[in-house]
Amino acid sequence: MIRQLHPEDQTYYEQMDTGIEDDYIAAIFPHLVTGPNKMYGLFIENQLVSTAGFTIYHSVYAMLGRLRTDRRYRGQNLATEIISNVLDKAWGHSAIQWVGANTQQSNVPAQKVLTKIGLTPLISLQSATTTSPNQLADNHAQWTEITTLSKKKALLSEQYIQPGRVFPYECYYPFEAKTELFNDDEVATWRFFMNEQRDRFFIAKYDQKKYHYLHVLYPFDDLFDQPGLWSTITQTYSDSRVLFEEEVHVWIDLTSDQLEKLPKQHPFNLPSPWNLYVDQR
Q: Residue 35 has what pLDDT?
A: 96
Q: Residue 246 has what pLDDT?
A: 84
Taking each helix axis from N to C end, the angle separating 78-91 and 108-116, rounded to the nearest 10 degrees, works out to 60
Give the torsion through C-alpha atoms of 62, 82, 101, 268, to 10 deg: 130
Between CA 172 and CA 259 the distance in angstroms is 17
**Domain 2-96: CATH class, spelled out:** alpha beta
Q: Residue 128 has what pLDDT?
A: 98
CATH code linked to domain 127-275: 3.40.630
Return the half-sphere exposure (C-beta side, CA atoms, 13 A cut-off) of residue 47. Answer: 11
Q: What is each CA distance from 24 to 14, 67, 141, 235, 256, in whole angstroms?
A: 12, 12, 41, 31, 28
For the chain, list residues with pLDDT below 50: none
Q: Residue 189 has what pLDDT?
A: 97
What does DSSP assign to residue 269? B
What 3 state SS string does 127-173 have? Answer: EEEECCHHHHCCCCCCCEEECCHHHHHHHHHHHCCCCCCEEEEECCE
Q: Which of 266, 39, 36, 52 is nearest to 170 (CA)?
A: 36
Ordered alpha helix ranges (H), 166-255: 184-189, 229-244
Domain boundaries for CATH 3.40.630.30 within the chain:
2-96
Q: Which residues contact 116 (CB under 8 A, 6 or more apart)?
A: 80, 84
Between CA 192 and CA 107 the distance in angstroms is 34
Q: Residue 280 has what pLDDT?
A: 85
Q: What are the tens digits of pLDDT across the range 40-52?
A: 999 999 999 999 9
Between CA 273 and CA 106 the distance in angstroms is 8
Q: Which residues contact 157 (CB under 8 A, 6 or more apart)?
A: none
Q: b or e along 144-182 (b: 16 or more beta carbons within 10 Å of the residue's beta carbon)?
A: eebeeeeebbebbeebbbeeeebbbbbbbbbbbbbeebb
Q: Residue 239 has what pLDDT?
A: 95
Residue 55, helix vs strand vs coil: strand
Q: Residue 163 has what pLDDT?
A: 87
